[in-house]
Amino acid sequence: SHARAFLQGWQGTLMADGYGGYKALFGQGVTELGCWAHARRKFFDLHAASNKPHEMAAVALQRIGELYAIEAQAREQSP
**Predicted confidence pLDDT, tens digits, the chain (79 residues):** 888 888 888 999 998 877 788 888 888 889 988 888 888 999 999 988 978 878 999 999 999 999 999 999 999 998 8
Neighbours of 49 (CB within 10 A): 9
Q: CB under 8 Å to 56, separation ≥6 — which residues?
A: 46
Angle between helices 36-49 and 55-75 (to 10 degrees): 150
Q: Which residue(s) pair with 32 in the sheet? A: 14
Phi-psi region of 15 (alpha: psi -120 to 50; beta: other; left: phi over 0): beta
pTM of the shown model: 0.64
Predicted local confidence at residue 40, as pLDDT: 92
